[in-house]
Amino acid sequence: MAIKISLDKIRKERPIKDLLKFGIINIDKPSGPTSFQVSQFIKDALRSNKTSHFGTLDPTVSGVLPIGLGRACRLNDYFMHRDKTYVGVIRLHKEVPDSEFKRVMEKFLGKIKQTPPVRSSVKRAERIREIKVFKILERNGKDLLFETEVEAGTYIRKLCDDMGKEIGGAHMLELRRTKAGMFMEKQSINLYDFEKAVQSYKNGQEDELRAMIIPAEVVCEVIPVIQIRSEVVTRILSGSPIFSSFLKNIKDIHKLKEGEKICIFSEEKFIGCYEFIGGEDIVARPEFVFN
């Protein structure tokens, strides 16, 4: 029987100082500051040794911005490369019938080619990205409120601009991220409430801040969990790869694919994140060991 990792139990029972060294806060980023500035604000407020944002939002874009605390920063890659959902406003440069815009919209669904904009921080090379959903929620004249679900790394402003080129011009007016992988808007924390919770914590009341911190073991909800025997934990924490003989149940790895990321637990104790290599003897190599 699979062991259920209780994140609520970890959040309630772990000392808050430990949560602050290995946790995540799902921040509702306001429009204005850069993602780095928000991350730095969290770091300074908590007097943390390190923070890191899981996926960048442009300064003018608001919404879901998970911030890793302490060693949870090492988990960035496991959370970051996941689908994103946005709500925004696109302004048409001329009157376009709904039927015409829908025709163009459908042309941009599925896998499309996209070149990052000039001011992006990545190499300007054409790449393939998937637009999974793009739908109009409301219309007010030339302004259309839309919702889109896209593959990580998709530039929504560029998507709006490219659509506009098909219908006489359009540009993005506003954008808000409502979902980043497993992190949802309804569970995000605005900076005002975060500041209040930090002040209460400094005054000796930790409950508000504790409730905001997601234990970093939540990585078990995005990559498969493999259980190992308790007697081999010391060897693994010293850097040993995962041998097939370490596993509690060899059947746990039968559905895994070579190169897949996994997280290793011993009962409810998080050991680290590994790459599955599928050998008969060595089955996984360490990427991040929580020792």
Instruction: Give every CB contact of residue 212 below 8 A, 6+ residues apart in sequence.
Output: 25, 189, 193, 194, 197
Residues of the chain with pLDDT below 50 are 1
* Catalytic-role residue among 58, 83, 161, 252: 58
Judgement on whether residues 95 and 237 belong to the same structural domain of the protein: no
In a domain, 68, yes or no: yes
Helices (H), 68-185: 76-80, 98-107, 156-164
Query: How many other CB atoms sit within 10 Å of the CB of residue 86?
Result: 24
Residue 279 has a pLDDT of 80
For the stretch 204-220, what's the b/e string if a residue is b when 16 or more beta carbons lie within 10 angstroms of its beta carbon?
eebebbbebbbbbbbbb
Active site residue 58: yes
Residues 73 and 94 in one domain: no
Which residues have a Cβ under 8 Å from the Cβ of 178 and sit 6 or more positions away?
63, 64, 85, 86, 87, 147, 184, 185
Q: Does residue 89 share a domain with residue 74?
A: no
Residue 174 placed within a domain = no
Examine the domain organization and report whether 267 and 129 are in the same domain: no
Q: What is the DSSP letter of 5?
A: -
The CA angle 147-64-183, to the nearest 5 degrees, is 95
E-assigned strands of 115-211? 127-140, 143-150, 170-180, 183-184, 189-190
Say whether both 71 and 107 belong to one domain.
no
Classify residue 1: in a domain, yes or no: no
Are 73 and 101 contained in the same domain?
Answer: no
| CATH code at position 138 | 3.30.70.3190
The number of distinct structural domains making up the chain is 3
Domain that holds residue 99: 84-168
At 267, which CATH number? 2.30.130.10
Is the same domain home to 13 and 68? yes
Q: In this structure, is residue 60 part of a structural domain?
A: yes
Cβ atoms 128, 113 nearer than 8 A: yes
The per-residue pLDDT for 119 is 67
Query: How many angstroms separate the CA atoms of 12 and 160, rounded?
Result: 44
- The whole-angstrom separation of Cα 59 and Cα 12 is 34
CATH at 28: 3.30.2350.10
* 173 belongs to a structural domain: no
Residue 126 lies in a domain: yes
Asked if residue 281 and residue 227 are part of one domain, the reply reads yes
Q: List the structure tokens of 182.
A: 């497993």
Residue 191 counted as domain residue? yes
Looking at the fold, whether 67 and 193 belong to one and the same domain comes out as yes
DSSP of 234-253: HHHHTTPPEEGGGBS-GGGG
Cα gap 124→112, rounded to integer Å: 16
Both 127 and 69 in one domain: the answer is no
Q: Are both 198 and 243 inside the same structural domain?
A: no
Which residues, at least 6 apart from 84, have a Cβ–Cβ distance to it below 8 Å? 55, 149, 150, 151, 152, 154, 177, 179, 180, 181
Q: What is the pLDDT of residue 120?
A: 63
In this structure, the answer to whether residues 192 and 148 fall within a common structural domain is no
Per-residue pLDDT, 2: 56
Task: Among 168, 202, 233, identify where a domain stops.
Answer: 168
- What span, in angstroms and rounded, lies between the C-alpha atoms of 58 and 27? 15
CB 120 within 8 A of CB 95: no
DSSP notation for 216-238: GGGGGGTS-EEEB-GGGHHHHHT
For residue 43, the surrounding DSSP H or E stretch is helix 35-46
In a domain? residue 209: yes
Name the β-bridge partners of 140.
Answer: 143
